[in-house]
Amino acid sequence: MDMEKLQTLDKLSLTDAQETATKLIDRRKTRKVVAMGLERDISNARSSAEVSRIMWQVYLSGNGLGTVGSQWKSFYKGV
């Protein structure tokens, strides 16, 4: 994941943040159903800060730094 883009998501307009975040999802490593869920959550976000939060959770989880037993992680694992 491109760290420079990830760090600037909250400073972009909502539309630009959503477009950038959708492009940051690694389709080769992400199951199709999970990617679709992330795209849905990103498109439903109400602010660029929320888009940034979603993508930081994706980044941390992808690097093994997610919270064990979190609702967010269990939701996407079950999808």
The string of DSSP codes covering 28-79 is TTS-HHHHHHHHHHHHH-SSHHHHHHHHHHHHHHHTT-SPTT-HHHHHHHH-
How much is the pTM? 0.79
Q: What is the pLDDT of residues 24-53, one digit of tens each?
A: 988 888 888 888 989 999 999 999 999 999
With tokens 């439903």, the residue in question is: 44
Confidence label for 21 from pLDDT (cuts 50, 70 and 90): very high
Residue 19 vs residue 66, higher pLDDT: 19
Tokens (6 digits) for 1: 């994941």
**Euclidean distance between the first and final Cα of the chain, in Å?**
22
CA 5 from chain center: how many Å? 12
